[in-house]
Amino acid sequence: MVLQLGKYEIVNPIALGPMAGVTDLAFRTVCAQLGANITVTEMVSSRALVYKDKKSAALLKKNEGSLCGAQIFGNDPDVMAEGARLALEISGCDFLDINMGCPMPKIANSGDGCGLMRTPALAGDILSAVVKAVDVPVTVKCRLGWDKSSINVLDFAKRMEDNGAAMVTVHGRTRSMLYSGVADWDMITKVKSCLQIPVLANGDIVDGQTACKCLKRTGADGIMIGRASFGDPWIFAEVKAALEGQDGYQRPALKDRIALAVHQFELSEKDHGEHVACLEARKHFAWYLRGVKHSSFYKNQISSVSTMEDIYRIAKDIVRDLK
């Protein structure tokens, strides 16, 4: 399976979904090392970029090891066009992704993210403006619609194609579902059948088996994995193996998983500095320990780490005490 995105060819596309507060440079780098061959930055406000907000610009760092996109959001065509130019200038990313799927009330209720699915004509104008403003492929991430009474993804996705989208990623839930319930892969199948451009399927892909099942059912050109990667970047290696026909992928031993977690936090320290790296480690480190028996004692310690030495000490103790 080969996906064509502009001048790029990606074999067996496995994307790490953009997630605010999660997919920073360090985590994207680790996931890319393990098989995520498409990554996308955390979403950044186009208006914040135009206003020269340094914190927003700092999120737009291209990772190595994968095709990397910069994701922006907003609801003004002119501002989005300028934001897209700035995002690419800052990041040097390979493509530009527009967030039309974020369900969070702060974003969607302001007409951004999934809010744009309620104003498809405006969404089309935004996409058209961005496509004209940049010289890289422009992609769109969306949902099925605002709620179950207004599922409009088929018309919406076709409008995106008509306005120049190079690829569409569809999360098989509505905005009102947030991340609950079951993703509707059959609607993604219908989206794929009505578009000529590539389609990535997103939602309820939690291992190699579900990845293969999703691709078989939807006919999608690739998959995107989000929350299932929390503390488990090896899911990309498992999915990669499954797509290549290999069964029985095994996670590394705990000591090797902890070593990778520490490596991620070291990358984070290099990017953000020790203070922010430790704040990030408080959630990511706990995720790495999900399912590990008798780890609650260490999770409590992790919740208050403030130095890299704390991280090294806890990592050493976990490897000594747990299996």
pLDDT digits (tens, 9 = 90+) for 16-68: 999 999 999 999 999 999 999 999 999 999 999 999 999 999 999 999 999 99
pLDDT of residue 238: 97
Chain centre distance of CA 99: 11
pTM exceeding 0.85? yes
Residue 70: what residue type? A
pLDDT of residue 323: 76
**Cβ–Cβ under 8 Å, residues 23 and 60:** no
pLDDT of residue 119: 97
Instruction: Classify burial at 186, counting beta carbons within 10 Å of its beta carbon; exposed 0-12, middle 13-18, buried 19 or more.
Output: exposed
Average pLDDT on 139-168 reads 97
Q: What's the CA gap between 127 and 112, in Å, rounded? A: 13
* Percent of the chain at pLDDT exceeding 90: 96
pLDDT of residue 82: 98
Query: pLDDT of 68-85, one tens digit each?
Result: 999 999 999 999 999 999
The rounded mean pLDDT for the chain is 96
Average pLDDT on 112-138 reads 97
Is pLDDT larger for residue 323 or for residue 114? Answer: 114
Closest CA to 111 of 20, 46, 52: 46
Is 212 designated active site?
Answer: no
Whether the predicted pLDDT of 122 surpasses 90 = yes
pLDDT of residue 118: 96
**Cβ–Cβ under 8 Å, residues 289 and 314:** no
Query: pLDDT of 178-234, one tens digit each?
Result: 999 999 999 999 999 999 999 999 999 999 999 999 999 999 999 999 999 999 999
Place of tokens 């890299």: 308
Whether the predicted pLDDT of 322 surpasses 90 = no
Question: Which positions ≥6 away from 245 have C-beta within 8 Å?
Answer: none
Place of tokens 């969070």: 104
Q: What angle do CA 196, 20, 159 make, to 5 degrees?
A: 25
Q: What's the CA gap between 136 and 261, in Å, rounded? A: 33
pLDDT of residue 93: 97
Q: What angle do CA 7, 67, 196 make, to 5 degrees?
A: 50
Q: What's the CA gap between 130 and 108, in Å, rounded? A: 20
Query: pLDDT of 305-320, one tens digit each?
Result: 999 999 999 999 999 9
Q: What's the CA gap between 168 and 141, in Å, rounded? A: 6
Closest CA to 96 of 88, 107, 86, 108: 88
Please state the φ and ψ torsions of residue 34, each to the nearest 5 degrees.
-105, 5
pLDDT of residue 248: 82
Average pLDDT on 147-163 reads 96
Q: What b-and-e string marks burial along 64-101, b requiring 16 or more CB atoms within 10 Å of the CB? A: ebbbbbbbbbbbbbebbbbbbbbbbebbebbbbbbbbb
pLDDT of residue 1: 84
Active-site choice (68, 93, 102, 214) = 102
3-class SS at 139? strand
* Residue 67 β-bridge partners: 38
Question: Which positions ≥6 away from 92 have C-beta within 8 Å?
Answer: 62
| DSSP conformation class of 36 | -
